């Protein structure tokens, strides 16, 4: 058994030693794709590792001739400094923290997915990675861990809520650059936001001009600042057209089917001729409630949403809604943070406009 086993192993070694044309070609490919380190560059050019490091980082005294020599070698061999080494040399982590709310759920998935795509793609263009943390107003220990252990260079807070100034104040105190997606409670904090108030005012105004006077409004969590922005847009439209508001037909915390059904009972008893929903999740629940009661859309009740969903285009009837550039919102949040970090950002920010999409549900 031992002799046989040894024979097999010996035969394999002999086969590996045979040189074939394809082995030679493969050898050349391996040489071409060699991963160079700073040590390799220093040895090839006959300079010190410190000299190469200074040339790459642009810090320290080094002759122009030597710097050009290093750059020429880098360009020829497609050298890229590894992330940890680059971070150590420049006292950076090249990580951005993205904070998701603890109450994030499947309801919020379309918004956060698009926003995160914009953040991630933009960060990648500048060779940054994205680290995700979960936090709420009372417990943001995960985010604090990232800051105090120097795991990130800056933070993006993906939801703005009433009372989250504690976290914003903490980041400001720690001199950690951050950007808020939505209105910022902390004075002077950087923020990016959609034109929620303007868009909701325009969509509400269109329905009022159509002669739909008895409008009900279904909203989500009152602590979310976007809820307040959408409410103000709704009220602005009434003020612009000098129509009295019906405060009794404004509902909040419509976060499940039971709450939706209870609101629908009151709305029908009041004799509403139209219902506005602050987001696509509420609109989807409302459609189910109305169908259960054989309320036809739009014949018996007009319906519109302050936030679009790709499925609205394929429902029967299709649903009138507001469409925002959510991916662009994420891109702008990331670009804003990169500028705060001192990066040379030359690309233009995405245009954060909105579009009123009129569909069958309000005809």
- 317 lies in the same domain as 209: yes
Angstrom distances, CA of residue 97 to CA of 82, 89, 192, 348, 350: 20, 21, 16, 22, 21
Residue 28: predicted pLDDT = 34
Identify the band that residue 231 occupies on the pLDDT scale cut at 50, 70 and 90.
Answer: very high
Contacts of 111 (CB under 8 A, 6+ apart): 307, 326
**CATH number, position 181:** 3.40.50.2300
Is residue 285 over pLDDT 90?
yes
pLDDT of 127? 87
Task: Judge whether 89 lies within some domain.
Answer: no
Q: What 3-state DSSP class applies to 250? A: strand
156 close to 336: Cβ distance less than 8 angstroms: no
Domain extent for 39: 18-81
Is residue 18 over pLDDT 50?
Answer: no
Residue 73 near residue 79 (C-beta atoms within 8 A): yes
For residues 203 and 314, state if they share a domain: yes
- Quick one: pLDDT band at residue 359, thresholds 50, 70, 90? very high
212 with 282, same domain: the answer is yes
Residue 63 belongs to a domain = yes
Residues 62 and 155 in one domain: no
Does the residue 135 lie in any domain? yes
Average pLDDT value for residue range 1-10: 39
Helix axis angle for 165-173 and 141-148, nearest 10°, is 10
| Mean per-residue pLDDT of the chain | 83
Query: What whole-number distance in Å separates Cα of residue 289 and Cα of residue 287?
Result: 5
Residue 162: exposure state from Cβ atoms within 10 A (0-12, 13-18, ≥19): middle
Percent of the chain with pLDDT strictly greater than 90: 51
Pick the range with the lowest mean pLDDT from 86-95, 183-192, 248-257: 86-95
Q: What is the pLDDT of residues 293-340, one digit of tens each?
A: 999 999 999 999 999 998 999 999 999 999 999 999 999 999 999 999
Average pLDDT over every residue of 282-289: 95
Helix and strand numbers, DSSP H then E, in the chain: 14, 11
Average pLDDT of the segment spanning 6-33: 39
The closest of 195, 132, 208, 193 to 159, measured between CA atoms, is 193
Mean pLDDT of 169-196: 87
Task: Determine how β-strand 320-324 pairs with β-strand 354-357.
Answer: antiparallel
Query: Which residue from 186, 187, 189, 185 is spatially nearest to 177, judged by alpha carbons?
Result: 189
Q: Are 159 and 263 contained in the same domain? A: no
Chain-centroid distance of CA 210 in Å reads 36
Q: How many domains, in total, are found in the chain? A: 3
What's the predicted TM-score (pTM) here?
Answer: 0.72
Residue 129 has pLDDT above 90, yes or no: yes
- Name which residue leads in pLDDT, 28 or 91: 91
pLDDT of residue 196: 95
pLDDT surpasses 50 at 33: yes
Residue 154 maps to a domain: yes
Q: How far is CA 256 from the centre of its chain?
A: 25
Is residue 39 pLDDT above 90, yes or no?
Answer: no
Instruction: Tell the burial category of 104 from Cβ atoms under 10 Å away from its Cβ (0-12, 13-18, 19+).
Output: middle
Q: Is residue 188 assigned to a domain?
A: yes
Q: What is the average pLDDT across 279-285?
A: 93
In-domain check, residue 222: yes
Which of the two residues, 106 and 305, has the higher pLDDT score?
A: 305
| Most trustworthy range by pLDDT among 11-15, 19-23, 247-251 | 247-251
Q: Is position 361 within any domain? A: no
The reply to whether 70 and 141 lie within a common domain is no
Angstrom distance (rounded) from CA 229 to CA 362: 23
Beta strands in the chain (DSSP E): 95-101, 129-135, 154-157, 178-181, 190-192, 215-218, 250-251, 274-277, 302-305, 320-324, 354-357
- The HSE-up count of residue 9 (CA atoms within 13 Å, CB side) is 6
pLDDT at site 207: 96
CA dist 50 and 265 (Å) reads 75
3-state SS class at 273 = coil
Is 90 exceeded by the pLDDT of residue 50? no
pLDDT exceeds cutoff 50 at 240 = yes
Same domain? 211 vs 319? yes
């Amino acid at each position: 058994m031992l002799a046989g086993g040894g024979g097999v192993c010996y035969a394999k070694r002999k086969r590996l030693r045979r040189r074939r044309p394809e082995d030679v070609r493969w050898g050349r490919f391996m040489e071409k794709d060699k991963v160079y380190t700073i040590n390799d560059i220093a040895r090839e050019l006959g300079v010190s590792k410190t000299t190469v490091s200074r040339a790459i980082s642009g810090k320290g005294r080094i002759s122009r001739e030597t710097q050009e020599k290093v750059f020429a070698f880098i360009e020829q061999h497609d050298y890229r400094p590894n992330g940890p080494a680059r971070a150590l040399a420049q006292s950076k982590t090249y990580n951005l923290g993205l904070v998701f709310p603890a109450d994030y759920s499947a309801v919020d998935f379309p918004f956060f997915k698009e926003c995160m795509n914009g953040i991630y793609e933009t960060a990648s263009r500048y060779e940054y990675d994205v680290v995700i943390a979960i936090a709420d107003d009372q417990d943001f220990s995960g985010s604090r861990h990232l800051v105090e252990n120097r795991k990130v260079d800056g933070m993006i807070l993906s939801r703005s809520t009433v009372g989250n100034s504690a976290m914003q104040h903490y980041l400001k105190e720690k001199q950690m650059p951050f950007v808020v997606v939505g209105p910022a409670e902390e004075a002077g904090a950087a923020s990016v936001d959609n034109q929620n108030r303007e868009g909701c005012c325009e969509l509400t105004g269109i329905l009022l001009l159509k002669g739909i006077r008895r409008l009900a409004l279904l909203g989500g969590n009152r602590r979310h600042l976007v809820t307040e922005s959408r409410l103000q847009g709704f009220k602005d439209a009434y003020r612009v057209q000098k129509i009295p508001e019906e405060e009794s037909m404004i509902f909040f915390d419509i976060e499940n089917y039971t709450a939706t059904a209870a609101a629908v009972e009151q709305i029908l008893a009041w004799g509403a001729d139209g219902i506005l929903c602050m987001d696509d999740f509420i609109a989807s629940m409302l459609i189910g409630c109305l169908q259960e009661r054989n309320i036809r859309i739009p014949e018996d009740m007009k319906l519109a949403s302050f936030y679009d969903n790709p499925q609205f285009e394929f429902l029967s009837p299709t649903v009138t809604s507001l469409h925002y550039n959510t991916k662009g919102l994420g891109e702008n949040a990331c670009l804003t943070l990169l500028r705060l970090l001192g990066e040379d950002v030359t690309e233009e920010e995405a245009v954060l406009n909105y579009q009123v999409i009129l569909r069958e549900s309000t005809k």
